[in-house]
Structure 1
Amino acid sequence: MRIGTLLDEPSGPDGLRELTDQLRQSAEEGFDSAWLLHTFGADALTALAVASSQVPDIAIGTAVVPTYPRHPGALAQQARTTALAAGADRLTLGIGLSHKIVIENMFGYDFDRPARHMKEYLSVLVPLLEGGAVSYSGELYNANLGLSIPDEGRVSLLLAALGTHMLRLAGRLADGTVLWMTGATSIREHIAPAITAAAAAAERPAPRIVCVLPVLVTDDVESARQKATETFSAYGSLPSYRAMMDREGVDGPTDLAIIGSEKQVAARIEAIFEAGATEFVGSVFDGGEPALRTRALLTSLTD
């Protein structure tokens, strides 16, 4: 099993140094990969470029960079520069639509026809990530350009996809998907079948399915569930995640958080792989002894 960890977002004047220390610790502990959110703090790709340039070997990824705020050519340029700083074949660029409340209310873009947006976005982004030039004219994007960044190895591309149309795009045009607030039932019955069929129809390799979920090994399950509710409850109100929770038959994000003893947590993670995930990334949402136990368990599960 390939196991990764979600890094803390940089904050404060020492944030990038602390991120580098986190990445180094994750590599030394034996995690296969380390991933960084992209919200409203430090730019994820820039932060990973700094940290990975000082910490070798461990794979890195974004989960995920929203597409609307930047042109696909600009994102390709930044991603390939980050890959150059990190070294060959280490970076996975995870991208996604974000949510209507963010894109319309905060950035001021029209969130209408998101699948059309993503199809055109990928039509420009993918050739540039692969080192070629692109000439594309669509309804939303136009691009005639190439990049002169030195060969930095391949940048793997994952698309955050939960709905059927987005999963088909991920299977046809990307290397797979990165998931959040999505459990084993949804992966087995919806995610894996849809994206795998799309990849096969496009004669592409079997897709990566990276599942990111909150996780904590603890003897005090009730306190951990309360902490999970405080930390993640907002995701239950976002339509795309709410649809996955309904598929799972759970009330909210707390029920998707993986909480319990080492044996209980390991069993739930193994079920996620059995459902079709190819990688699991743990968001360890508390500190102290539970965090140490959680990280030790996660690394014990790596191949």
Structure 2
Amino acid sequence: MPFLPVDTDHVASLASLVNRAGCRLWLGQPVTVEPHQLFAYLAGRGMRVPVGTSVTLMPLRNPFEAALQARSLAQLTGHPVVAGYGPGPTGFQRALLGSAYRSPLTATREYLTSMRGLLNGETVTLDTGYTRLDAALPPLPHPQVELGLGVLRAGMARLAGEIADVAITWLCPPAYLRDVLIPEMALAAAKANRPMPRVVSVVHVAERKPRRDPVQLALKICGPHLRAAHYVDMLGKAGIRVDPADPESGARALIDAGVFVTGTISELVSGLSGYQRAGADEVVLNLGAVGAHRGARVALRELKFLLTSLEVQGV
């Protein structure tokens, strides 16, 4: 969704575009309109499209509510749902929970494992300091709920390989996906004797246009991430040096590395195809920079043109 979901007419137009294109509608964790409620609203308007969250934040809800909401969306939309989760920044954890997770990996493991048990009809009992739960969900037929994890670095990649259905990346360079994250997932999945999770890569994209500064576009949508320690660390491990005190140079580095994909249509196709070659099973087009810069109507128009161009070129 390339804009904050405030105007429901724009959201409905986007859902119609997604339906015609035969793809999935993704939404992260805005604090304007809650993602699950927005998707349910669209289903209620008859716009039942496949949806995914990329990613919603664990401190906002107990795993019981998370499982309930995810399977409710599957039932209401009539499509499989990708329910992606992540622990969120430590400051966000402290603001909602009173303290940060001692171990984000342990907290995430317990969260997703609890959701899996609930969705499988099990009674889940847990009281560890990360998760408190003693409950089961009543039976309800619904399409599949795929459990996803936001994957940034090797530790979360290994955890995704062990317990997730889907691994979701954000600001991830293609080479880092290919050389680090996917091998870690594959090894962990093999050790757990389970299939490797599908890989979904969210990619920032914007067509090159006159009087449009790509560095400012990248800065507008990625600026907070370029100041966040965990993203700076991941990008450094991927060979992209980012200085939190100079986010503009970081935005330029994202463009140079093909993480923020910009250019002509042929250049966009090449950049997006790089993620497929790196091993991504699904590439999410994120025109959030265009939406933030020019508004929802321009972002929708550009997304429609890009989807049409990709279809014509067989991508």
Q: Tell whether the structures are fold-level matches, with TM greater than 0.5.
A: yes
Do the aligned residues in 2 keep the contact of 1:160 with 1:178 (CA within 8 Å)? yes
Is this contact kept in 2: 1:185–1:275, CA < 8 A? yes
* 3-state SS in 1 of match to 2:45: coil
Which segment drifts farther, 145-154 or 257-266?
A: 145-154
Letter in 1 for 2:173: G
Q: Give yes or no for the alignment of 1:145 onto 2:135.
A: yes
Match of 1:205 among 195, 199, 222: 195
Equivalent residue pairs, number: 293
Task: Indicate conservation of the 8 Å contact 1:179/1:212, yes or no.
Answer: yes
Q: Distance in 1 between matches of 2:152 and 2:134?
A: 31
Displacement after TM superposition at 1:223 (Å): 1.5
Distance 1:57 1:64, change over 3 A: same
Match of 2:160 in 1: 170
**CA displacement 1:201-253 (0-9 Å, x = unmatched):** 22222311111021012244962332222232111111222123223433424
Residues of 1 paired with 2:64 and 2:314: CA distance? 35
- Matched with 1:119 is 109
Match in the other structure for 2:246: none
Identity of aligned residues (%): 22
Does residue 8 in structure 1 map to residue 7 in structure 2? no
* In structure 2, distance between residues paired with 1:19 and 1:79: 20
Higher relative contact order (CA 8 A, sep 6+): 1
| Aligned-pair CA distance for 1:139 | 4.4
Deviations 1:155-206 (A, max 9, x none): 0111002222221221111102111111101101111111122122222223
For 2:221, the aligned partner's letter is T
Q: Deviations over 1:271-299 (max 9, x none)?
A: 11111111100111325365553343344
Q: Do the aligned partners of 2:49 and 2:79 also contact (CA within 8 Å) in 1?
A: no
Contact 1:159 1:177 in 2 (8 A): yes
Q: Which residue of 2 aligns with 1:50?
A: 41
Asked whether the 8 Å contact 1:216–1:260 carries over to 2, the reply is: yes
TM-score between the two structures when normalised by the length of structure 2: 0.84
Q: Does structure 2 conserve the Cα–Cα contact (< 8 Å) formed by 1:34 and 1:58?
A: yes
2:306 paired residue among 281, 294, 300: 294
Q: Which runs of 5+ in 2 are unaligned?
A: 243-249
Q: Which structure 1 residue ranges, 5 or more long, are not aligned? A: 1-5
Corresponding position: 1:64 with 2:55 = yes
Q: Deviating runs (4+, > 6 A) in structure 1?
A: none
In the alignment, what sits opposite 1:3?
none
Per-residue deviation, 1:141: 2.2
- CA-based RMSD: 2.3
The CA deviation at 1:108 is 3.2
The correspondence for 2:15, drawn from 15, 23, 29, is 23
CA contact (8 A) 1:104 1:110 kept: yes
In the superposition, the TM-score normalised over structure 1's length comes to 0.87
Amino acid at match of 1:297: S
Provide the rounded CA distance (Å) in 1 between the counterparts of 2:139 and 2:34. Answer: 20
Task: Tell me the secondary structure at the aligned position of residue 283 of structure 2.
Answer: strand
Look up the match of 1:277.
Answer: 280
